[in-house]
């Protein structure tokens, strides 16, 4: 039977693969990051979107987008990237 930690890690990886990310994913040493070029492309799309607030949060998901675009398995909530 897997330990609680092993089960959490398994669930965390599953979340990442489905585009669901959480702020604590940045603290997980196993979190995968998107290539720098992809991060820049994603954020450029966000900067041109009317859902991005003056504080760089998305009106749809509430995420701080300069951070979210760095996560490999993150997805735009309105499917722009």
Q: Are 80 and 61 in contact (CB under 8 A)?
A: no
pTM over 0.85: no
pLDDT of residue 79: 94
Cβ neighbours, 10 Å, residue 65: 23
pLDDT of residue 58: 96
* Per-block mean pLDDT, blocks of 10 residues, the chain (81 long): 75 62 80 95 98 96 93 92 95
pLDDT of residue 64: 94
């Amino acid at each position: 039977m897997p330990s609680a930690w092993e089960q959490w890690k398994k669930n965390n990886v599953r979340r990442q693969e489905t585009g669901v990310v959480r702020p604590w994913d940045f603290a997980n040493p196993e979190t995968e990051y998107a290539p720098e070029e992809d991060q820049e492309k994603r954020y450029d799309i966000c900067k041109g979107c009317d859902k991005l607030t003056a504080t760089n949060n998305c009106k749809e998901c509430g995420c701080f987008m300069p951070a979210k675009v760095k996560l490999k398995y993150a997805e735009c909530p309105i499917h722009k990237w």
